[in-house]
């Protein structure tokens, strides 16, 4: 047990748990909440979804903060040194981070109340699908990055 780096274990736990919260919540909204809400009459649906959004917004904000903090720490303090000079690793990581910002934007707009994104929420069925697809690609990139051989032990 002595040679386990518990700080890295904690960072990885935060990253994976935040990914589960953001990704799992989005999937639940796509396959269960959104289709069920369409069965309700407009007034009931709007009231119900407003309550769901105000509760889920807290999960979205916490998972974004968790993913950014654990992700940037992990990349800047640990993995970039393990993959020094490995252009493919950094290109894939850059792509993962850009896609993550797409997910952060969509998750915030879909769960938020800002008038600017009312049109986007009105088309939630499409954007929930795009969001889940992006999370699936990001998790695949995470798995590929983790499997890439390290060039130097940190």
| 109 touches ligand HEM by CB under 6 A | no
Q: Which of residues 127-146 bind ligand HEM (CB under 6 A)?
A: 135, 138-139, 142, 145-146
Q: Give me the numbers of helices (H) and strands (E) for the chain, helices first please.
A: 7, 0
Residue 85, phi-psi category: left (phi > 0), alpha (psi -120 to 50), beta (remainder): left
Annotate 72-107 with b (16+ C-beta within 10 A) or e (fewer).
Answer: eebbeebbeeebeebeebbebbeebbebbeebbebb
Task: Please identify, using beta-carbon distances, which residue of 37 and 145 lies nearer to ligand HEM.
Answer: 145
What's the min distance (Å) between Cβ of 63 and ligand HEM?
8
* Per-residue contact flags (x/-) with ligand HEM for residues 7 to 26, judged by CB under 6 A: -----x--xx--x--xx---
Among 79, 106, 109, 128, binds ligand HEM (CB under 6 A): 79
In the complex, which residues of this chain contact ligand HEM (CB under 6 A)? Answer: 12, 15-16, 19, 22-23, 67-68, 71-72, 74-75, 79, 96-97, 100, 103, 135, 138-139, 142, 145-146
């Amino acid at each position: 047990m002595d040679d386990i780096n518990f700080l890295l274990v904690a960072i990885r736990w935060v990253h994976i748990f935040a990914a589960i919260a953001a990704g799992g919540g989005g999937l639940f909204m796509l396959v269960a909440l959104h289709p069920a809400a369409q069965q309700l009459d407009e007034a009931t649906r709007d009231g119900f979804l407003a309550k769901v959004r105000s509760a889920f917004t807290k999960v979205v904000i916490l998972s974004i903060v968790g993913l950014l903090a654990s992700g940037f720490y992990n990349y800047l303090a640990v993995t970039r040194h393990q993959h020094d000079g490995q252009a493919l690793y950094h290109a894939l990581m850059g792509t993962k981070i850009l896609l993550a910002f797409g997910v952060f934007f969509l998750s915030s707009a879909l769960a938020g109340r800002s008038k600017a994104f009312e049109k986007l929420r009105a088309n939630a069925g499409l954007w929930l699908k795009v969001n889940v697809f992006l999370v699936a690609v990001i998790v695949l990139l995470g798995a590929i990055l983790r499997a890439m051989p390290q060039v130097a032990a940190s």
